Structure 1
Amino acid sequence: MTVPVLDPVLDRPFAAVLFDMDGTLVDSTAAINRSWTTWAVEHGITAEQLAGTHGRPAPEIVADLVGPDRFAAASARITELEILDVDGVVQLPGVADLLAGLPPQAWAIVTSCSSPLADARRGAAGLPDPRVLVTFDDVEHGKPAPDCFLLGAARLGVDPADCLVVEDAPAGLAAARAAGCATLAVRTTHPEGPLDADLVVPLLSSVRITPGDGGLRLTLERV
């Protein structure tokens, strides 16, 4: 008799869920692209140089692309551009219902944004205020380092191994794995190609996360 192989994230409870923000809870792609395009033109950076940077903190991207003598001004400029442009930043499908069904003490937002930028985009999209918000301002090393997810779990008072991380970007998924968390990827910003996660879905409308005996359980929505 063949024993079915159960998905590792569908066959276990979780103590908490740690959500990335951009590309996971909110669609900010157009605003991000506008801001970084303007910044790149101003600083002589090509599209090829920016490729593959989604999900990483802006100061770390800037540090990789400009010399140390230009870093402070260049970093301040991208921060200014991104905070000023929140046009079209909206919640992604399924997010409102998913967050509404979670106990407030059992979820957090863990983002590579600075605190002011996270506030601007959360406000524009109408996201509920999480009890725990971890931004790049709170950690020494951004994604793909695990610092942010380790801090998110600690602030919720749970073991990272008992957390499910929801991400859209390879850098964030790498950070989650390094933190020892289970991973759920959404194909919002990377519709094609591999995403190294325990489970990959098109959108958060494809899943439900509900409280139950022993913790939160993830199920797939029937289409």
Structure 2
Amino acid sequence: MSTVVLGRLTELDFDAVIFDMDGTLIDSTPAVIRAWTIWAKEHGVTAEQLAGHHGMPSAGVVRRLLPEHRHESAIDRINALEIDDVHDIVVLPGAIEALEALASARSAIATSCTLPLARARIAAAQLTPPSVLVTADQVKHGKPAPDPFLLAAERLGVSPRRCLVVEDAPAGLVAAEAAGCYRLAVVTTTREEDLVADGIVRNLGDVEFVLGADGSIRVRARSSW
């Protein structure tokens, strides 16, 4: 992919930006693969069965794959495996610059991680997060339900319809649309053709966030500045 497509997003003023975490701000793929590979072998789940759940909370994945009587122990196990492995986690291009640009503006992270896991991965990546952090264990329904983005907007004190969500996963983009947010997709973990959004870029390094005097936020292609 060589083209940055922002479309109408460049014409809009936003009150807040809500970032997904894994695949958007940080790359945790090696750790995720290691944890889920161990879990799958222990629970008799194939790689084919695991496919297609990217961006969803671990508990939701477990509930889809295993019978109810196995849920509690299986969820505890994947949570433990992921917490124990935060090696090889790195910040993705443009993430630090994006968060710094929005340091005085309304911004949030809405992730499918639990709060302990989110904190562990943020610390491992040495990332300075926004003050608002919404995790899967803080909402009734995780992505692809809209709950994480609705809660983030509520905590920021803004309408979801005035928010821009940055996501790498189809489940997160579906959740953002259901919440009424605008969507900017980054092509870091998912094929471009599988991402449905209002704009699409390779990663956050392709864009800049600019603050207006009234606190509004605009997004622009970095190459145009």
- With the shorter chain as reference, the TM-score category is over 0.9
| Amino acid corresponding to residue 216 of structure 1 in structure 2 | I
Task: State the TM-score, normalizing by the size of structure 1.
Answer: 0.95
Per the alignment, residue 202 of structure 2 pairs with 202
Alpha-carbon displacement from aligned partner over 1:20-58 (angstroms, at most 9, x marks no partner): 000000000111011001100110000110001010000
Change (3 A) 1:213 1:12: farther
Per the alignment, residue 220 of structure 2 pairs with 219
How far is the alpha carbon of 1:213 from its aligned partner?
4.0
1:43-54 mapped onto 2 (5 Å cutoff): 43-54=43-54
8 A Cα contact 2:207 2:220, kept in partner: yes
Count of matched residue pairs: 218
Alpha-carbon displacement from aligned partner over 1:114-144 (angstroms, at most 9, x marks no partner): 0000000000011113211000111000101
8 A Cα contact 2:109 2:129, kept in partner: no
8 A Cα contact 1:104 1:131, kept in partner: no
- Paired residue secondary structure (2:124): helix
| Aligned-residue RMSD, C-alpha | 1.3
- Could you tell me how far apart the structure 1 residues matched to 2:123 and 2:160 are? 28
- Could you tell me how far apart the structure 2 residues matched to 1:12 and 1:72 are? 44
- Paired residue secondary structure (2:45): coil
How far is the alpha carbon of 1:70 from its aligned partner?
1.0
Segments of structure 1 that go 5 or more residues without pairing to the other structure are 1-5
How far is the alpha carbon of 1:192 from its aligned partner?
4.0
- Could you tell me how far apart the structure 1 residues matched to 2:195 and 2:142 are? 19
- Could you tell me how far apart the structure 2 residues matched to 1:64 and 1:202 are? 30
Taking only the aligned residue pairs, the percentage that are identical comes to 54
How far is the alpha carbon of 1:68 from its aligned partner?
1.2
Per the alignment, residue 119 of structure 1 pairs with 119
How far is the alpha carbon of 1:105 from its aligned partner?
4.4
Bigger mean CA deviation after superposition, 126-135 or 83-92:
126-135
Per the alignment, residue 143 of structure 1 pairs with 143
Give every structure 1 segment of 4 or more consecutive aligned residues whose post-TM-superposition deviation is greater than 2 Å.
191-194
1:79-118 mapped onto 2 (5 Å cutoff): 79-118=79-118
| Amino acid corresponding to residue 8 of structure 1 in structure 2 | R
Per the alignment, residue 167 of structure 1 pairs with 167
8 A Cα contact 1:55 1:143, kept in partner: yes
- Could you tell me how far apart the structure 1 residues matched to 2:104 and 2:72 are? 37
Segments of structure 2 that go 5 or more residues without pairing to the other structure are 1-5
